[in-house]
Amino acid sequence: PSTIYLKDYKVPPFLIDKTELTFDLDEATTIVTSRLHMRRNPACGKSTVPLTLDGGEGVKLIGLAMDDYTLPPEEYRISENKLIITATADQFVLTCETLIEPQNNTSLEGLYRSSSMFCTQCEAEGFRHITYYLDRPDVMSVFTTTIIADADRYPVMLSNGNEVERGKTEEGKTFVVWNDPFPKPAYLFALVAGDLAVKNDIFTTQNKRDVKLQIFTETHNIDKVDYAMEALKRSMRWDEEAYGREYDLDIFMIVAVDDFNMGAMENKGLNIFNSSCLLASPETTTDDSYLRVEAIVAHEYFHNWSGNRVTCRDWFQLSLKEGFTVFRDQTFSADMHSETVKRVEDVSFLRTAQFAEDAGPMAHPVRPASFIEISNFYTLTVYEKGAEIVRMIHTLLGAEKFRAGSDLYFERHDGQAVTCDDFVSAMEDASGVDLTQFKRWYSQAGTPVVSVTDEFDAASGTYRLTMKQETPVTPNQPTKLALHIPVRVGLLDQSGNELSATLDGTTAEDHVLHLTSSEQVFEFSGVTARPIPSLLRGFSAPVKLHYDYTPANLLLLMSSDSDGFNRWSSAQQLAVNELQALIGQAIAGETLSIDSQLIDGFKALIGDCNLDPAMVALILTLPSQAYLSELANPIYPAAIKQARHYLKTQLANALSGEFESLYTNNKSQGVYQANAEDIACRSLKNLALSYWVETDSEAAQQAVVQQFEFANNMTDQFSALSIAVHSQHEKAADMLAVFYDQWKNEPLVVNKWLMLSAGQESDDALIIVKGLMEHPAFDLKNPNKVRSVLGGFGQNMAAFHKEDGSGYRFLADQIILLNKRNPQIASRLCTPLTRWKKMQPELSEKMKSELERILAEDLSKDVYEVISKCLA
């Protein structure tokens, strides 16, 4: 497989002004006729390069004509899936007929079948699996799509834009014609056909235009779309208010499908969603999933401007739309619920998963310089770190100038395919802020480490912070440059009061420091007492920050910092310190023991009734095994698990009365609502239960069973079940069986059951997992089910990291099995194995030999890229 480089980018030699598509739909063989109104790109000057169209495996060319002239075989050739036509006029209509087989399409790219429907997924390069095309985002075209099908079986036939015509063919089939007036790249094309139910609504825009809203699902799911519909309307309103962006077509549709490689897709006017990211009901959906539905509905909707109206020039610029849109959806969710809680959740995810990616063999810049398979670059780095870059621009410019920058960006580039540099230029031009050095964030991979030391001079009232930055080496980037890092800082006195201080002539309680060199000193004056610094408030930059806090400092920040994020972060740091000590003891085979600081801190926190229960729940949540693994080098999974379990039990025993009361006081359940307040209450209650059950209390054991049986919502029922499973409750197995029986007709609930079942820590975990893959509820063709079982297994520390390597071997077998069938899913499954260099030596060797075994297979580009880079 060959590598594609950003530096080789060239403008397209041809343009396609209009694209007319006709689909004669049939499960076995669908015939696609395309009429492409093409011309040479004037930007290329006088050129004679041949016309090269992208195609894909599984696309059979059955007819080709230029204007009215049928091309004979000697005038074109097909090589490596490309269709090359030697002689062309400067302007012509190319008619191309292809035959595809939707029901044999297991990659879920292009046109495929899901349940009883037809649907498409074209981003990034799926359109070429439908017909030959200039399948690149900088070729934008106006699409008209005709769908022909048997109306009894496919009464609903959808594509982008507006329905403009409908009728009967001579053979008595139905045809529907759709037209999308906005030029778009092929990756935003979509088609859906099926026997679907619909929920209708209307949104009136700020300019008083009525937009028809429709959500389509299979009939049995239509009672679960109300929440998504409300979330959609909230998103549309928010984008008008926060960004001045109004919806542009007269109709906006969303369709839920069961088989989908990722969460959802922002096709123009016709979003397609994984049903797990759209459907919601109190009985079947947990709070987390509710919030996820809202965030993804918003994310895809926001793409209508950040992605569709203004799109990417090439796929190296993916973060242009994804980083910006993630930032937009994060801000939206913060506005809908709690800003601090949302920030804590996002940062916790970033620090756990994106930092691990940035430290591994697939580390890449937010704007990658090369790739083999673009599907592999829909990563946490492009999405989440990309969003952090946009957030830093927001911090550097301030809210008002940032808005001016985004207005300018949309106005200047509407209808264009542009680059990350264009985005930054708009921000600079609207604000006057120079972002030249800042732009390195786009091209430099790796997580910077910022080390901070301080000095206080009481006599002069000066306080000095010395900051150093260093970015570790990553693949293909042996040397690193200094980044422009915004570090938000406040100072607290020894009693926890905010101190105001003067820096560069500005007196304030909160300063943004511009760290731009490898080492820099910031001097504050007017400081009356030795301060405790509150560093990196709000997580103002995606870095690892080190400062030598005493436990007392951390406790003070945890209880008094005016920055909610840092209160959480200090508590995490305190717990991390404790856990790292315990992990060390476990590796050395010593008896585990802890200091009492964390216990005291938690006790004070629980006693402080002024606090938001959501924050209390977050602070009391111990750092995850995954986060501890990210911090460790090498990783000793068994020691991490043992340490975390020990600490949890110690806290549970020391604070059993507190946890019992927390549980009891938050227990009452009213009518389920997915609002911030109720979600907070449930999360605190369930967290308290998870501690309380670690004591010997018989009452706690009973509370778990009671809650499982009498919960009126999935959050509480599933929490009780997970707590039972993870605490090895004597009734856990029975409860799992009851749960399956109760929910066997709700696939999304069954997926949760699969995941929890695969995560059970028992000696025969691998046997259980193999059994799940034979279970009637399992289906290898369905990505959600694969992710549930193998994802659950991946988090099963004991089973996955078993010393005999059987866990790794099993995962490798599944990767090999899915490699050709669904390359995108297979490639995602490789992630746990990419950490092999960081594992303790015996495990590292075993992981490596599985990677080598995979590499010896005939691999898809997707899997080949990940595995070969791992072993490089």
Q: Which is nearer to ligand B3K, 251 or 262 (CB)?
A: 262
Q: Please tell me what DSSP assigns to residue 263.
A: S
What length is written for the chain? 872
Q: Which does 716 bind (CB under 5 to 8 A by kind): Zn ion, ligand B3K, none?
A: none
Q: Which is nearer to ligand B3K, 640 or 818 (CB)?
A: 818
Nearer to ligand B3K, 262 or 408 (CB): 262
In whole angstroms, the minimum distance from the beta carbon of 78 to Zn ion comes to: 33
Residue 20 or 329 having the CB closest to ligand B3K: 329
Minimum CB–partner distance for residue 268 and ligand B3K (Å) = 12
Residue 218 interface partner, choices Zn ion, ligand B3K, none, CB cut-off 5-8 Å depending on type: none
* Residue placing its CB nearer to ligand B3K in the complex, 239 or 266: 266
DSSP conformational letter for 179: E
Is the Cβ of residue 264 or residue 628 nearer to ligand B3K in the bound state? 264
To ligand B3K, the closest distance from the beta carbon of 123 in angstroms equals 4
The CA distance from 262 to 476, in Å, is: 29
The Cα–Cα gap between 319 and 366 comes to: 6
- Residue from 136, 245, 299, 385 touching ligand B3K (CB under 6 A): that is 299
Contact 570, 557 (CB under 8 A): yes
Token couple for 536? 């990196």
Question: Which residue's CB is nearer to ligand B3K, number 731 or number 820?
Answer: 820
Task: Tell the residue number behind the tokens 């005291």, with chain if given.
Answer: 600
Partner touching 851 among Zn ion, ligand B3K, none, CB below 5 to 8 Å by kind:
none
Q: Tell me the window of 322-330, 596-604, 781-789, 859-867 that interacts with Zn ion (CB under 5 A).
A: 322-330
Amino acid letter, 504: D
- In the complex, minimum distance from the CB of residue 162 to ligand B3K, in angstroms, rounded to a whole number: 23
Helices (H), 374-490: 380, 386-397, 399-413, 420-431, 440-443
- Exactly one of 322, 428, 498, 865 binds ligand B3K (CB under 6 A); that residue is 322
Quick one: which of 300, 358, 388, 862 contacts ligand B3K (CB under 6 A)? 300
Least Å from the CB of residue 110 to ligand B3K? 12
Alpha helices in 202-303 (DSSP H): 226-243, 287-302
Question: Shortest CA distance to 217 belongs to which of 245, 198, 203?
Answer: 198
CB of 128 to ligand B3K, least distance (A): 14
Catalytic status, residue 300: yes
Count of residues that interact with ligand B3K, criterion CB under 6 A: 12
What is the rounded distance in angstroms from the CA atom of residue 615 to the CA atom of residue 567? 9
CA–CA separation, 372 and 4 (whole Å): 6
Interacting residues of 98 by C-beta distance below 8 A, sequence separation 6+? 31, 32, 34, 55, 59, 60, 61, 62, 130, 131, 132
572 binds, among Zn ion, ligand B3K, none (CB under 5 to 8 A by kind): none
* The one among 44, 142, 262, 855 contacting ligand B3K by CB under 6 A: 262
Compute the least distance from the CB of residue 303 to Zn ion, in Å.
Answer: 6
The torsion defined by the Cα of 765, 769, 775 and 779, in degrees rounded to 10, comes to 160
Closest CA to 333 of 349, 312, 351, 317: 349
Q: Which two tokens stand for residue 328?
A: 């937009």
The distance from CA 393 to its chain's CA centroid, rounded to whole angstroms, is 21
- Interaction partner, residue 392 (ligand B3K, Zn ion, none; CB < 5-8 Å by kind): none
Per CB under 6 A, the segment of 87-95, 144-152, 166-174, 297-305 that binds ligand B3K is: 297-305
Name the one range near ligand B3K by CB under 6 A: 261-269, 475-483, 564-572, 587-595. Answer: 261-269
Instruction: Measure the CA angle with vertex 331, ends 326 and 336; round to 5°.
Output: 125
Taking the C-alpha atoms of residue 576 and residue 568, their distance in angstroms, rounded to an integer, is: 12
Q: Which one, 123 or 716, has the nearer CB to ligand B3K?
A: 123
- Among the listed ranges 259-267, 456-464, 479-487, 762-770, the one in contact with ligand B3K (CB under 6 A) is 259-267
Closest CA to 485 of 388, 570, 406: 388
Q: Which two tokens stand for residue 81?
A: 């899936």
Cβ-based nearer residue to ligand B3K, 123 or 498: 123
Q: Does 329 bind ligand B3K (CB under 6 A)?
A: no
The interface partner of residue 511, options being Zn ion, ligand B3K, none and the CB cut-off 5 to 8 Å by kind, is none
User: Which of the residues 75 through 94 are near ligand B3K (CB under 6 A)?
Assistant: none
At 625, which helix (H) or strand (E)?
A: helix 625-631
- Partner interacting with residue 373 (select from ligand B3K, Zn ion, none; CB below 5-8 Å by kind): none
Cβ pair 676, 614 in contact under 8 A: yes
What sign results for the dihedral spanned by CA atoms 816, 818, 819, 821?
positive
Q: Which part of the chain contacts Zn ion (CB under 5 A), choosing from 41-49, 315-323, 446-454, 670-678? A: 315-323
Joined together, the tokens standing for residue 27 give: 């499960």
DSSP secondary structure string for all residues of 559-592:
HH-S-HHHHHHHHHHHHHHHHHHHHHHHHTTPPP
Q: Which is nearer to Zn ion, 382 or 790 (CB)?
A: 382
Mapped onto helix, strand or coil, the DSSP state of residue 504 is coil
Q: Is the dihedral of CA 818, 823, 825, 828 positive or negative?
A: positive
- Which position among 20, 24, 123, 373 is part of the footprint of ligand B3K (CB under 6 A)? 123
Q: Which of 215, 265, 485, 772 binds ligand B3K (CB under 6 A)?
A: 265
Q: How far is the CB of 855 from ligand B3K (least distance, A)?
A: 23
158 binds, among ligand B3K, Zn ion, none (CB under 5 to 8 A by kind): none
Choose among 206, 189, 299: nearest CA to 247. 206
The H or E element that residue 801 is part of is: none
Cβ proximity to ligand B3K: between 108 and 687 the closer is: 108
Which residue sits closest to ligand B3K, CB atoms considered?
A: 123
Q: Minimum CB separation from ligand B3K for residue 350, in Å?
A: 16
Subset of 347-406 contacting ligand B3K (CB under 6 A) = 375, 378
The alpha carbon of residue 335 and the mean position of all alpha carbons in its chain are separated, in whole angstroms, by 19
- Identify the active-site residue in 109, 218, 266, 300: 300
Q: In whole angstroms, what separates CA 795 from the centre of its chain?
A: 18
Task: Tell whether residue 312 is a contact of ligand B3K (CB under 6 A).
Answer: no
Q: How far apart are CA 97 and CA 76, in angstroms?
A: 14
**Helical pair 806-818 and 765-774, crossing angle rounded to 10 deg:** 20
CB atoms within 10 A of CB 709: 11
Distance CA 668, CA 710 (A): 11
266 binds ligand B3K (CB under 6 A): yes
Q: Which listed option, ligand B3K, Zn ion, none, makes contact with residue 123 (CB within 5 to 8 Å by class)?
A: ligand B3K
| Residue 137 Cβ vs ligand B3K, minimum distance, rounded to whole Å | 11
Using CB under 6 A as the binding rule, whether residue 124 contacts ligand B3K is answered as yes
Instruction: Yes or no: say if 31 and 129 are a contact pair by the CB < 8 Å rule.
Output: no
End-to-end CA distance of the chain: 15
Task: Give the binding range for ligand B3K (CB under 6 A) out of 299-307, 591-599, 661-669, 779-787.
Answer: 299-307
Site for Zn ion in 759-818 (CB under 5 A): none
Angle (CA) 353-357-362 rounded to 5° is 155
Q: Which stretch binds ligand B3K (CB under 6 A): 8-16, 168-176, 196-204, 298-306?
A: 298-306
Amino acid at 274: N
**Residue nearer to ligand B3K on the CB measure, 183 or 823:** 823
Minimum CB–partner distance for residue 273 and Zn ion (Å): 12
- Give the residue with the Cβ less far from ligand B3K, 54 or 266: 266
The distance of closest approach from Cβ of residue 303 to ligand B3K in the complex, given in angstroms and rounded to an integer, is 6
Which DSSP symbol is given to 719?
A: H
Positions annotated as catalytic residues are: 300
Residues that bind ligand B3K (CB under 6 A): 123-124, 262, 264-266, 299-300, 303, 322, 375, 378
Residues that bind Zn ion (CB under 5 A): 322, 325
